[in-house]
Amino acid sequence: MLFHVRMDVHLPPDLDPAVRADIVAREKAYSQDLQRTGKWPQIWRIVGEYSNFSIFDVESGDELHEILSGLPLFSYMTIKVTPLAKHPSKIDD
């Protein structure tokens, strides 16, 4: 199943810089591992925001929930998930 996910990060401005650096490093490693497995095939930065648009390719909404809730930045995020379906006008590659 494909999902379009928007993630907006809201880190507290007074967060200790060392804590911030640690969380961001763990987030990067976690996301890159998921990219390597094919579960997170697309990630795009939204210009001017600490946000991204991503495409996830997972077995179910439950699996996506598990992945998203495992993000080190999860507690600092607002997340919007949209399930995707193939468009009937799409030309297959």
In tens, the pLDDT along 23-78 reads 999 999 999 999 999 999 999 999 999 999 999 999 999 999 999 999 999 999 99
Structurally, how many domains does the chain consist of? 1
Q: Domain residues for 17?
A: 2-84
Q: What is the CATH number of the domain that holds 25?
A: 3.30.70.1060
Tokens 């699996």 sit on residue: 63
In a domain, 90, yes or no: no
In a domain, 91, yes or no: no
In a domain, 62, yes or no: yes
In a domain, 89, yes or no: no
Tell me if 44 sits within 8 A of 53, measured CB to CB: yes
CA contacts within 13 A on the Cβ side of 21: 3
Q: CA-to-CA distance for 62 and 81, rounded, in angstroms?
A: 12
pTM exceeding the 0.75 threshold for the entire prediction: yes
